[in-house]
Amino acid sequence: MFDMATLKDIKKKADELSYFCLSGTEELDAMKLTQALDQVSRALSMFAEVELHLMNGRSIPFDPESYIRGRLGLAHRSLLSVSTTHTA
C-alpha cells in the first residue's frame, strides 16, 4: 500500500496547497480554487475509503495510492497555474 516516502510526498503537497491558499500573496481565481478543492476532497474521500476497508478487514481491489497522488497533483497544478498566470 502506501510507503513512507509516498506518505511524506502526499503530506508535502497537501501542506503546500494549504500554505498557498492561506498565504494571501495571490488573488486566487474562484474556478481554479473550486477545482483544487474538488480534487483534494476526492483524495480525502479515497483515503477514508481505504481506512474503512482496512478497519473492516476487507481487501482493497483498486489502487488508491495513484488515485490520491493524481488528485493532489491536479489540485497542486491548478493552484500553481494561478500563481504563474498572475506573475507572467
What's the pTM? 0.75
Instruction: Determine contact, residues 82/35, Cβ cutoff 8 Å.
Output: no
Domain that holds residue 62: 31-88
> Residue 83 pLDDT > 70, yes or no?
no
Task: Note the pLDDT of residue 87.
Answer: 44
**Chain centre to alpha carbon of residue 81:** 15
CB within 8 Å of 28: residues ≥ 6 apart: 21, 79, 82
Task: Note the pLDDT of residue 86.
Answer: 47
Q: Is the dihedral of CA 9, 3, 70, 55 positive or negative?
A: negative
Identify each DSSP E strand in the chain by its residue range: none
Number of domains observed in the structure of the chain: 1
pLDDT tens-digit series, residues 23-82: 766 676 788 888 889 999 999 999 999 989 888 999 888 889 999 999 999 998 888 775
